[in-house]
Amino acid sequence: SALFTGFAGKLSLAHAAATAGGRLLGNDYRALVCVYLYGGNDAFNMLVPTSTAGYAEYQAARGELALPLGDLLTLNPSVAPVGNGTFGLSPSMPLLRNLFNQAQSPLAITTNVGPLLYPITKAQYQAGSVPVPAQLFSHSDQSVTWQQNRADAQDRRGWGGRLADMFYQTNTNQQLSMNISIDGENVFQAGDNVFPYFVGQNGAEGIDLVQPWNPERRAAFIALRDASLQNALQRQFASVMRRSMNNEVMINDALDGETPLATAFPDTHLGRQLQMIARLINARNPLQMQRQIFFVGLGGFDTHDNQLADQADCFAELDGALAAFHAATVEMSLANAVTTFTASEFGRTTSVNGDGTDHGWGSHHLIMGGAVNGRRIYGTPPSLAVGGPDDADWGQIIPTTSVDQYAATLARWYGVPASDMSTVFPNIGRFATSNLGFMSNS
């Protein structure tokens, strides 16, 4: 039964099953794009304090991993961050620094975000007087916690899936899922009624056994698929195969029919994924989509060693791909309709493990799009002082902003009414605000 359950689950996750229960919310086009940084991004070397006192704390905590002050790319926020500190961006991210510093900037940074069940202080954490998410500092557990973001740890639905359950009826096309992953299976996009449809970097992927280049085998397969089947499992399998084959044709025809975008994307893993998302968005009209949620991923952030070199490569890939994707949304006149955000299971320790770092907790994240209130650093930047007020232990920084608040701010822009916010984020009422302010009200 375990084998059957896993197989059936993958079938369900691979193809949309939009049934009754959603609502019509919004009549314009909007898309969320989750860029998941696998391994736990050390964002304390992405956004670095540059004030005299702040950099001194950073340097003392990071030792040999501290980036030279003179190499950091200066950020010029339009409003001083909480605490009035100054910050620089990793030298591997010049394109994003330029986006951030624009007068009408499409880029914001939210600081010290992490999974929380309740707001918590260092004293409360050390006393164990306030509950925290289960299995902190575990890759697999915290990946699920970040993407799931609800009280019931056994519930494998994600908050992107719960958004889709609320919005899928907005789309005229009910055959294709509004949740599309270019990076395979994930908890984030799984809902009760809507599950992610997987698309490859070059388009919809078909079933090798039944491709048109073998017409006899294809005809035999279709005859078996469409036969009168008595067994319920056989009928469900045939239904999934039929939908998969139809979606492949529908998506690839829509992609082939669109005028190619002029924006050049870097030929990197993330660049190719985001280019495919741009193409799918460009084909939104023939696909009859008004609300979509996309998922892409970039690995390499589990930097236990060789961090400076490995992370520089990861940041450079992120920098080029995100900048190109924003340019593509501008080319399509959809910058205000597409919001891209980063996620990662946790940050990393401010303390150093030889030439790398260990699993942490709080981290910083990027939000990009025309509807972003950019050129701002949101949230409360943490103290990086060794043993300081935000240091739980070993340089594991306690989040001052919850994933609930970060995600709810995105959901508000997406169209979730305040009265329904707790449906998507059951814990949101435990925090002071559900709106961090980094998205416009429209």
For the chain, how many structural domains are there in total?
A: 1
Does 166 have pLDDT greater than 70? yes
**Which of 277, 266, 375 has the alpha carbon at shortest distance from 334?**
277
Q: What's the pLDDT at 148?
A: 84
- pLDDT above 70 covers a percentage of the chain that reads 92
Structural domain of 180: 28-206+264-430
Strands 87-89 and 73-74, sheet pairing: antiparallel
In a domain? residue 220 = no
What is the pLDDT averaged over residues 320-346?
98
In a domain? residue 16 = no
Q: Whole-prediction pTM value?
A: 0.92
pLDDT digits (tens, 9 = 90+) for 12-53: 444 433 333 455 556 789 999 999 999 999 999 999 999 999
In a domain? residue 401 = yes
What's the CATH number where 100 sits? 3.40.720
* Cβ-contact 160, 179 below 8 angstroms: yes
In a domain? residue 246 = no
In a domain? residue 319 = yes
The mean predicted confidence, pLDDT, of the chain is 90
First to last CA, the chain: 48
Give 1's pLDDT tier (boundaries 50, 70, 90). very low
pLDDT digits (tens, 9 = 90+) for 249-262: 899 999 999 999 99
What is the pLDDT averaged over residues 328-354?
96
pLDDT digits (tens, 9 = 90+) for 424-439: 999 999 999 999 999 9
